[in-house]
Structure 1
Amino acid sequence: VLQAIKIPPVGGDTLWSSNTAAFKGLPLELQQKLRGLTATHDIRKSFPLERFAHNEEEREKLLQTFKRNPPVVHPVVRTHPVTGEPLLFVSEGFTTHINELPEQESEQLLNFLFEHATQEQFHLRWKWQDGDVAIWDNRCTQHKALFDYGDAHRIMHRATINGDVPFYKEEQQPELAEA
């Protein structure tokens, strides 16, 4: 959940991308290749010490956050627990590598997937107004704030909940009804 407290006069929009639509938009051969692969996700990719720790206190807080949130392995294609639909489950901010692939192949494929998933055809752009509240399903979307507002201030309040453990389950093929 995000609530807009103070919005700059220009810019500061947020983009949400549909990981379900992004997966469906991949060629079938690539969809098949991705099924069963896993990727490592690491919070340190989005919050490097050299950028976010400006003093020893901030450094210690960040190191504690890293300790509480170690790298995790998730399927590259996960199943939405409610809809049962497959979706792409990688993000430029957290996914570091695909575990079953050599480093160079993993990097090339991830870069392709990051760019593919954030194409305009898969996203919605929200222009905030003071007081707006956005609620979304983080299991099947990814979001990105646009920092295009210069020195103006943008104040947002965010609340999150713990989610489920991502999993992948082969889709069930519907049975044909007998005539």
Structure 2
Amino acid sequence: MSLSSHHLNISHIPSPVLLGNEVEQVDVTRLSPAIGAIVSGVNLAYPLTSEVEIKLRELLLKHQVLFFRNQTITPHEQRAFAQHFGPLHLHPIYPTVADVPEIIVLDTEQNDLKDNALWHTDVTFSQTPPLGAVLAARHLPSSGGDTLWASATAAYDALSEGMKQRLEHLTALHDFTHSFPLSRFGRTETEKQKWLRAREQLPPVEHPVIRVHPETNKRAIFVNEGFTTEICGLEAEESAALLRFLFQHVSKPEFSVRWTWQEGDVAFWDNRATQHYAVNDYRPHHRIMHRATILGDRPFGPAITQQQKHS
């Protein structure tokens, strides 16, 4: 079954007052065999040393989503932390922090966030989907509002050899409008014009169904319910059936971890190898999250060599 910090009874982990960041302070508690770890001993409000940055990169590749407790970072500090791992994405639709445009605001009183309450990988409607993201809890309901992450590499590994061979040469379309329809994100003339600009700049894009991770070389299922609309070259019914199987397969509990948010929590995940689901069980209560999204590279599949990828 999926695990959460509550179920693991990890409240005994100390929360030291950190004045800086040293690699010797970093401590890791694994949450499940497939995905997830809590990292303590790092203060995200402070610049990272090169050693700590390298350590966090290694942990991200190993655990795919990292959680940090008791952080009091500002949006500026959240941006600075995320920028250690690459340049940041500017989202075409969501509102942002007034003076920090790289930090999007996921506020249930400002936006319809149904697009978060399903399994998805962020911004796969881009030619170069994000490397990862950093999510900070800003305002939480008294209960509910958990987020689940699933390992798309663990899900791939669990497929039969025949299914792996079937999928490795396939590609699929990812469409911005699938989770951002005009009916929900064009309520005012200003919103409509913003949506139309995004639609013009972001036509449907084709990605491999199986993605090879550019750093680990591990394979992952790279279709998601949020943005994938069809598998290229298949009849509509065959495409829909195969996508339905893959969506259900990735979301199995044995590939996932469930996180119960507390004030001061920050999550950092590898968007190239995971999917996530924000549980929408707390209405009419209010929830605000801030996300920094790190730019990534163009996905390539098993049939594409590194040389072809860079040519």
Question: How far does the alpha carbon of each residue in 1:89-130 deviate from its partner, in whole angstroms, 9 at most, with x for none?
Answer: 000000010002111100110011101111111111111111
Aligned residue pair count: 172
Q: Does 1:81 align with 2:214?
A: yes
Q: Which amino acid aligns with 1:129?
A: Q
8 Å Cα contact 1:11-1:148 kept in structure 2: yes
> Is the CA contact (8 Å cut-off) linking 1:16 and 1:143 kept in structure 2?
yes
1:67 Cα deviation from its structure 2 partner:
2.1
Match of 1:112, SS?
A: helix
Q: Deviations over 1:48-94 (max 9, x none)?
A: 11122212211111121222222110000010011111110000000
Which residue is 2:64 aligned to? none
TM-score by length of 1: 0.92
1:145 matches 2:278:
yes
Structure 1: distance between partners of 2:304 and 2:159: 17
Contact 1:6 1:153 in 2 (8 A): yes
In structure 2, distance between residues paired with 1:162 and 1:102: 33
Could you say if the C-alpha distance between residues 171 and 164 of structure 1 is closer, same or farther in structure 2, counting changes exceeding 3 Å? closer
Whether the aligned pair in 2 keeps the contact of 1:84 and 1:171 (CA below 8 Å) is no
Find the partner of 2:189 among 56, 62, 78. 56
1:119 paired residue among 252, 256, 274 = 252
1:2 correspondence with 2:167: no
Corresponding residue of 1:177: none
**2:203 counterpart (58, 67, 70):** 70
Contact kept, 8 Å, 2:209 with 2:222, in 1: the verdict is yes
Paired AA for residue 159 in structure 2: L
How many percent of aligned residue pairs carry the same amino acid? Answer: 53
Residues 34-49 of structure 1 aligned to structure 2 (within 5 Å): 34-49=167-182
In the alignment, the residues of structure 1 paired with residue 288 and residue 192 of structure 2 have an alpha-carbon distance, to the nearest angstrom, of: 23
Correspondence for 1:176: none
Match for 2:300 among 152, 167, 171?
A: 167
Q: Which runs of 5+ in 2 are unaligned?
A: 1-133, 306-311
Cα distance in 2 between the residues matched to 1:67 and 1:14: 31
What residue number does 1:175 align with? none
- Residue 32 in structure 1 maps to residue 165 in structure 2: yes
Asked if the contact 2:211–2:221 (Cα under 8 Å) also holds between the matched residues in 1, the reply is yes
- Secondary structure of the 1:134 match is strand
**CA positional deviation for 1:133:** 0.7
Report the secondary structure of 1:12's partner residue: coil
For 1:79 and 1:35, the matched residues in 2 are separated by 10
C-alpha contact 2:148 2:256 (8 A) present in aligned 1: yes
Question: Does the 8 Å CA contact 1:80/1:86 hold for their aligned counterparts?
Answer: yes
Distance 2:263 2:176 in 1: 29
Does residue 90 of structure 1 match 2:90? Answer: no
Counterpart CA distance in 2 for 1:20 and 1:82 is: 13
Distance in 1, Cα, partners of 2:296 & 2:210: 16
- Of residues 57-66 and 102-111 in structure 1, the stretch that sits farther from structure 2 once superposed is 57-66
Q: Structure 1: where are the runs of 5+ without partners?
A: 173-179
Partner SS for 2:244: helix
d(CA) in 1 for partners of 2:276, 2:200: 24
Structure 1 position 168, deviation (Å): 1.4
Deviation of the 1:170 alpha carbon = 5.4
Aligned equivalents of 1:136 and 1:53: distance in 2?
A: 30
Work out the CA distance in 1 between the residues paired with 2:150 and 2:199: 26
Aligned equivalents of 1:170 and 1:104: distance in 2? Answer: 25
